[in-house]
C-alpha cells in the first residue's frame, strides 16, 4: 500500500483493470502445445523454447528444424543406404583374399571402399539440400568441367588404363579418378536443364533432338576415345532414356537408336579385343575368343551357391579363381555365398530403387526434375542389369560395376551424388504438396466457426 497524503488520498494513480486479450488463432493443421508444469519448464525442449520462454527471448520451433520429408524422399534414401551397407559387406567378403595377397591385410579394400562411402553419403545429403535452381544454373559448368577432366585422361600422361581402356586420371598420390563417371552426373543435370527450356518445342528435332544429341554426343565421344565401350553404352542409354521421358517422338528416337547401334557395331569389329569378348560369349572354344576364364568361373560360382549359398565369407571362387571378384563380378560372389536368395534380394533392391525413382518422377511437374530423375533411373537400373547380364552369360564382358554394391570409389560417389540430386527434387515436391488436415484439427476448426 502507498503512504496516504495529508488529504488521505493515494499519491500513485489507480491501476487499470486487467483485461484478457484473446490470443492468436491456431491454423487448421496446428495443434496446441502442451507446456510442461513444474520449475524450469519454460526452458525445456518440450516447450519449443530455444533458451528460455521469458519476455523478449526468441523461440525456436523444433518442428521446423526437423521438418518431416516426403515419403518418396525417405523411400529412396532408405533403399540407397541399405544398398550401400549391403555393398560394403559384400566388398569385405569378396575382396578379403585378394587384399591380403597384395597388402597383407584382409580389410584393405573394405576400408578403402568404406572411406569412399563416408565421402559419398555426406555429399548425397548435401546435394539433397541444394535447391533445384542451382543445378539448372550450373549445368553447363558441370558438363564442361567433367569433359575437361576426360580430356586430361585422353590427351595427357595423367591418363591411365587397363585391358585396352584408358579411363583413369592419376594426379600425384591422390586416388585415381574416373572422369567418365562425373560426365554421367553432368549429363543428367544438363539434359534436365536443356529440356526444361525446350519443353514447349520438344517435338521439333531442330530445337530439341539435334542440339541434345550434338552436345551429348561430344561428351560420349570423349569417353569413346578412351576405348571404354561399356561406359559408352551406359551413357548412350542415359541419353535415350532422357529423350524418351522428355517426350521426343518415337520415330526420332528410332533414328538415333539405329545410328548408335551402327556406330557400336563399327567400333566393335575394328578391335580384336572386343571381338574376342563377343566370341567368348557365343563360342568359348573359338581360336579368336578371349580367354573365357572369367566368365566360366562366374558361372561356376553361381552354380555352386544353390538356393541358400555356401555362407557369407565362405566363397571358393574368390581364392584367385574369379578375377574382379569385388568389382565387375561381385554378383557371382553374392550368388555363391548367399545363394539364389541373395541374388533375388539384389534384384529386388533394384526393383525398389526403380519404384522410388518412378514415384518421384510422377509426383513432380517440373520438366527438369522429370528428365533428370529419368536419366538417373536409366543409368543405375540399366547399368545394374548390364552387370548382372554379364555375370549370367547373357552379355559379353563390358567392365561395368554393379551400382552402389561393387567396389569402386568414383563410381560409388558419382552414383550417390546423382541420387542426392534426385532427392533435392523430391524434397521440393514434398514441400510444395498440400499437407493433409487431421480429423482432430478439422473438428477444432468447426467448433471455432460455430
DSSP string, 374-438: HHHHHHHHHHHHHHHHHHTTSS-------TTTSS-HHHHHHHHHHHHHHHHHHHHHHHHSPPPPP
* The predicted structure's pLDDT at residue 143: 93
Q: Are 369 and 246 in contact (CB under 8 A)?
A: no
**pLDDT, mean of residues 230-256:** 91
pLDDT digits (tens, 9 = 90+) for 5-51: 444 444 555 555 544 455 445 444 444 444 444 444 444 434 343 44
Residue in 144, 131, 138 with CA at minimum distance from that of residue 193: 138
pLDDT at 260 exceeding the cut of 60 = yes
pLDDT digits (tens, 9 = 90+) for 290-336: 557 788 888 899 999 889 999 998 999 888 888 888 999 999 999 99
Report helix angle 108-129 to 71-103, nearest 10: 160
* The predicted structure's pLDDT at residue 39: 43
State how far the alpha carbon of 374 is from the alpha carbons of 47, 189, 357, in Å. 44, 11, 7
Q: Are 376 and 357 in contact (CB under 8 A)?
A: yes
CA atoms within 13 A of residue 241's CA, in its CB half-sphere: 25
Q: Where are the alpha helices (DSSP H) in 44-131?
A: 62-65, 71-103, 108-129
pLDDT digits (tens, 9 = 90+) for 177-195: 899 999 999 999 999 999 9
The model's confidence at residue 100, banded by pLDDT at 50, 70 and 90, is confident
**pLDDT, mean of residues 173-180:** 86
* Cα–Cα distance for residue pair 395/355, rounded to 1 Å: 25
The model's confidence at residue 270, banded by pLDDT at 50, 70 and 90, is confident
Amino acid at each position: 500500500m502507498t503512504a496516504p497524503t495529508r488529504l488521505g488520498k493515494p499519491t500513485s494513480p489507480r491501476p487499470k483493470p486487467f483485461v484478457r486479450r484473446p490470443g492468436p488463432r491456431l491454423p487448421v493443421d496446428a495443434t496446441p502445445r502442451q507446456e510442461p508444469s513444474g520449475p524450469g519448464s519454460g526452458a525445456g525442449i518440450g516447450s519449443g523454447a530455444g533458451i528460455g520462454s521469458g519476455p523478449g527471448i526468441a523461440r525456436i520451433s523444433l518442428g521446423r528444424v526437423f521438418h518431416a520429408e516426403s515419403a518418396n524422399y525417405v523411400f529412396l534414401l532408405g533403399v540407397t543406404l541399405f544398398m550401400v551397407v549391403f555393398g560394403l559387406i559384400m566388398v569385405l567378403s569378396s575382396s578379403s583374399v585378394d587384399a591380403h595377397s597384395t597388402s597383407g591385410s584382409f580389410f584393405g579394400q573394405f576400408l578403402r571402399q568404406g572411406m569412399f562411402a563416408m565421402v559419398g553419403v555426406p555429399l548425397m545429403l548435401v546435394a539433397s539440400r541444394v535447391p533445384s535452381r542451382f543445378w539448372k544454373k550450373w549445368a553447363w559448368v558441370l558438363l564442361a568441367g567433367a569433359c575437361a577432366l576426360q580430356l586430361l585422361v585422353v590427351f595427357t600422361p595423367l591418363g591411365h588404363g587397363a585391358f585396352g581402356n584408358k579411363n583413369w586420371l592419376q594426379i600425384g598420390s591422390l586416388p585415381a579418378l574416373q572422369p567418365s563417371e562425373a560426365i554421367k552426373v553432368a549429363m543428367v543435370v544438363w539434359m534436365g536443364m536443356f529440356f526444361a527450356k525446350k519443353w514447349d518445342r520438344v517435338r521439333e528435332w531442330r530445337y530439341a533432338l539435334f542440339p541434345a544429341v550434338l552436345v551429348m554426343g561430344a561428351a560420349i565421344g570423349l569417353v569413346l576415345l578412351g576405348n571404354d565401350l561399356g561406359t559408352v553404352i551406359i551413357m548412350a542409354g542415359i541419353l535415350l532414356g532422357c529423350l524418351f521421358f522428355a517426350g521426343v517422338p518415337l520415330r526420332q528416337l528410332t533414328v538415333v537408336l539405329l545410328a548408335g547401334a551402327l556406330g557400336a557395331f563399327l567400333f566393335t569389329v575394328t578391335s580384336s579385343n572386343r571381338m574376342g569378348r563377343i566370341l567368348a560369349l557365343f563360342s568359348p572354344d573359338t581360336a579368336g575368343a578371349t580367354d573365357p576364364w572369367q566368365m566360366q568361373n562366374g558361372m561356376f560360382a553361381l552354380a555352386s551357391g544353390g538356393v541358400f549359398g555356401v555362407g557369407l565369407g565362405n566363397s571358393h571362387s574368390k581364392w584367385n579363381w574369379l578375377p574382379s571378384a569385388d568389382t565387375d563380378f561381385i554378383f557371382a560372389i553374392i550368388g555363391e555365398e548367399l545363394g539364389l536368395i541373395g541374388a533375388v534380394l539384389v534384384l529386388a533392391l533394384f526393383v525398389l530403387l526403380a519404384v522410388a525413382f518412378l514415384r518421384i518422377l510422377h509426383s513432380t511437374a517440373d520438366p527438369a526434375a522429370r528428365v533428370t530423375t529419368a536419366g538417373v533411373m536409366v543409368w543405375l537400373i540399366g547399368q545394374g542389369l548390364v552387370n548382372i547380364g554379364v555375370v549370367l552369360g547373357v552379355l559379353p564382358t563390358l567392365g561395368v560395376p554393379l551400382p552402389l554394391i561393387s567396389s569402386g570409389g568414383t563410381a560409388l560417389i558419382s552414383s550417390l551424388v546423382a541420387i542426392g540430386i534426385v532427392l533435392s527434387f523430391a524434397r521440393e515436391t514434398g514441400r510444395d504438396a498440400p499437407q493433409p488436415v487431421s480429423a482432430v484439427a478439422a473438428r477444432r476448426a468447426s467448433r471455432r466457426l460455430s
